[in-house]
Each structure stands twice: as structure tokens, then as C-alpha cells.
Amino acid sequence: MKHTNPSRRRSRRVSLAGTAVVAASILAACTSNSDSSSKTTAAATTTTQPASTAATTGATAADSTVDSTAATTEATTEATGSTDSSTVSTDGADTTEAPVATDAATPGTVDQTLTGDAPGVSADTIKIGVTYVDTEALKAVGLNYDLGPHAKVYQALADDINAKGGINGRKLQIVLAPIDPTNAAGADAACLKLTEDDDVFLITGFFLGDSTMCPLEAHSTAVVGGGMTADLTPRAKAPWVTWTADADQSAAATQKFADAGLLTGKVAVYVAAADKPQYDNNVKPALDKLGITPVEVGVMDAPTDDNAAIESSVKLIAEKFKAANADTVLLVGIGAPNFAITESADTSFRPKLLFTDTLAARAFYTSAATTDTSILDGSYAAGGYGPDQARFDESTMQQCVSILKAAGLDTPAPDTLDPTDSSNQPFQAAFQACPDMVLTAAVLERAGANLNYGTLGAAIDGLKVTIPGDPTERTYGPPPAADGDPNVYLFKWNEAGKTYDLDNG
């Protein structure tokens, strides 16, 4: 008879609980599915409004997960060192108004009399800052991940745009800034490099939490990407557009669950303290509108670095749910994995789980430490288009993959890899870089030849873009539409396949 040390089993479960939020947070920062035109370039199709114009480039959606020091890493980008483009010329930097390219403004572009700052823009180049997770830094703390060569992928997509004439006559100049996610100062260092040393026009790539505020608020530099919230968007002092779903997606997810008849019976809500604003501002109003009053709302407020406290808090919340006879638990935000992690051992309480964020569910079931997924039986998750193979197969994504292949960069299909090995996801580089570059190219094209923050900001309103990895076209506008209001999809747990399948019924 094999004997198992219960304290060791508990230690493993607690350790995973402490890392799940970090893993899901970085995954959320790296991943999201965002969601015609007379002019197409590379892999995306864009449509401007009212006229059709915007050129775009190959791209895809990002799926990354990182578990760092007290964490497991599942999504990031490979720091492969800088390419030639990381050393850039300073011609035209810090101009109040960009030198206008010799070509006439592209038909369908915005008002070319608008003015504004135009750092990093010269008569023939546009400096684009790119941040990505430095997997070399992760290896230094024992985390070995293959998430694809992010730096090379971004450069290949920029090269493809440039080979086709650039954006309104200007070539893109990529400036790289890898970020060490195990070091709190990493994001700030990258921000200072790109905004002060390199003086880029905009920054795209990897953003965790409110790190977008360094370029947007502290340095008045435009951003493409990052997660928008109601409290962050008013602070931006430069144009901001993203393909990452903003906080109101959780309200859409709640409505999606209700439409599918899943929010019946006695509903309880679990939310980590960090995600409480998302519940208060988005999920609760959605529940109120539906006439649903939770039997309990459990807020897990233990310190994220205190594993024992996390488990204790989750168990207390679960006991209250059980006492209230809850048969459905709505799990809000990226802190949700801790509920599944802690309660997976308690077979006496198995409510139907509804994740408002697919990334939170993924952080649980793809972890190497998760050996029992039976708690997910009958569960659903809502989020961007997927799963990974569906995103990979989407037509604009495939166009992007073709561009990368032509550049000598292999992007293996997700279903050719072990789905339980979160450390081996080389397709993630394309999933991150392609949407970034498509949206960047589209909004720059629509801004026109007189490129500055005035025209860039105006170009966001009315822009239509199909993001690689998601078949649904997006229409952009001022917040909360600055994420293009991506469609929310419903996924049902497939225990045999150990994944969530798109629910079409």
C-alpha cells in the first residue's frame, strides 16, 4: 500500500493556490481575443469608416501564462536579444508635429489638419516600442518556457509591412524592451527606456496590471494593448487603443451565462479582492439587471503571498456557500483559480462553476500541479474566441502564420503539442505579436500621412478591424469601445479532452 504524506499533499495544493493569481494575471496581460476594406496587407482585414482604407499586417491573438517566483509561468514572450531594430536612429524624434510624408493622405484617413505631439516620427520612419516577457529572466529562477521567439516575430511582421511600402510612406522601426516579470521594477525600466531613451511614438506588447500608466500617464506616450478599466482610461494623456477585452467583458459574460440558462437556482459569487472592482462595477450591475440576487458573495482578501491564508479564506467562503445551498458559483476575474484549486479536494460540495474569464479557468486546468479536474465537470467559461487550435485555424491568423513561415519562423499548431504542458507553447509569440501589429498598423494607416497624436486619437473612432485569431470584426470608438467591444463566446468543459470546447448550442 502506498502511503502519501498528507502535509506534503496539502503543501502542494497551497503552493499552487498562491501562484494561480500571478499565473492568470500574466496570462491575461499577454492574452486576449480581440476582435472591410479595399486595402489589405499581410494578415488582417481592416475597414475604416466612412471610407474603406486601413492597411494591416499579419497577426494573431496572444495566449500566455507565467507562473513566476511564487508562480508558474504560462504565457509570455521569448527574450531572444535585440535585433538590428533595437538600435534606432533619432531622426525626427521629439517633433511637435510629424514631418508629412511625400505621398498624399490615404483616402479614408482622418482630418489631416489635426495637430499633436509626434515623438519618434520622421519623414520616413515611425519608432514602435515593443515590450515582451523576458523568458531568459524566468530561466534564471528555474522556470524554463518555450513560448516562441517574440522579438523575431515582431520584427518579421514589421519587415513584412515595410516590404509592402510601410505605413503611408513611412517604415516601422521596432525598438525592443524585454521585461523581467519576476522583478517589480522591470516594467518601469522598459517604460523609461522606450519613452525617454528611445523616444518612441507608441508602445505595444506586454502590459501587466496598470503598467500602461507609465507610458500613458507619466510620459504621455501612446499605447496599443493592455487592459482598460474605468479608473485607468481617464488617466491616459495620450491615445490608447487595445484588442484586449476591457473589464466590461465580465458583464457580457454574466449576460451570456444567463442567456444560456446557466444562472438558475441558488447563485453564489466568488471574487478575489483584487477583482472586487470588476464585480462592483460590472458583474453586480449585470446581475441586478437580470434580477438575480446572490445567496452569498465571498471576497477572498488574503494576501497573495500568503498561501496558507489563501486556502483558509477560500475554505471559509466555500463553507458559507455550502450552508446557503448554493448550486452555482460565479467565479469573477483572474483570481478565480484559487477556488478550484482549494476546493478540488472537497468532493462533498460540487456546485456548477461559471468562470467569467477563460484565462482563469485555463490557469487551473493547464497547471502541471493540477491532477484532478473533476471539479470542472459541468462548468462553463466565457471569454474571447477559442480554444487555441480554433484561434490558430482562424483565417487571418493563418495569413499571419504564413508571413512568419516565409520569414523562417515556425509556428507549430497547438494541437500538435501536449495541452497539459504549459511550459511548451511556442505558438504564443504569434498569438501575442500578431494582434498587436495588426491593430498598430490599422490605426497608424487611418491616422494618415500627418501622423501625430491628434490624428492618431481621431483614427481610433470608427476604425473597424478583424483581429487574427478571432473571426468577429471589431468597431472601435471612445472608451468603453476602445477595445473594439469584442464578442464574448461560451465554452463548456470537456473532461475527456481536458479543455473547454466552444459551445455552439
Pair 286, 377: CB distance under 8 Å:
no
Q: What's 60's domain CATH number?
A: 3.40.50.2300
> Is the sign of the CA dihedral 275, 276, 281, 285 positive or negative?
positive
- Phi, then psi, of 453 in degrees rounded to 5: -70, -20
If asked whether residues 428 and 336 sit together in one domain, one would say no
**pTM score of the predicted model:** 0.77
Instruction: Provide the pLDDT for residue 371.
Output: 86
Closest to 194 (Cα-Cα) out of 95, 135, 127, 137: 127
Instruction: Provide the pLDDT for residue 108.
Output: 67
If asked whether residues 314 and 444 sit together in one domain, one would say no
Instruction: Provide the b/e sequence for 143-160 (b: ≥16 CB within 10 Å).
Output: bebbbbbbbbbbbbbbbb
- Per-residue pLDDT of the chain in tens (505 residues, 90 and over written 9): 333 343 333 444 444 444 444 444 544 455 554 332 233 333 333 333 333 223 333 333 333 333 333 333 333 333 333 333 333 333 333 433 444 433 333 346 899 999 999 999 999 999 999 999 898 888 888 888 888 999 999 999 999 999 999 999 999 999 999 998 878 789 999 999 999 999 999 999 999 889 999 999 999 999 999 989 888 999 999 999 999 988 889 999 999 999 999 999 999 999 999 899 999 999 999 999 999 999 999 999 999 878 899 999 999 999 999 999 999 999 999 899 999 999 998 999 999 999 999 989 988 988 877 889 999 999 999 999 998 999 999 999 999 999 999 999 999 999 999 877 778 889 999 999 999 999 999 999 999 999 999 999 999 999 999 999 999 999 999 999 999 999 999 999 999 988 899 998 6
Instruction: Provide the pLDDT for residue 322.
Output: 97
Domain count within the chain: 2
d(CA 269, CA 90): 52
In eight-state DSSP terms, residue 434 is H
If asked whether residues 287 and 224 sit together in one domain, one would say no
If asked whether residues 352 and 470 sit together in one domain, one would say no
If asked whether residues 394 and 459 sit together in one domain, one would say yes
- Domain range for 311 is 249-383
If asked whether residues 66 and 121 sit together in one domain, one would say yes
Residue 437 lies in a domain: yes
d(CA 305, CA 357): 22
Closest to 85 (Cα-Cα) out of 7, 35, 158: 158
Per-residue cell: 135: 523568458
If asked whether residues 276 and 160 sit together in one domain, one would say no
**What's the gap between Cα 157 and its chain centre?**
19
Q: Which of 383, 401, 427 is the last residue of a domain?
A: 383
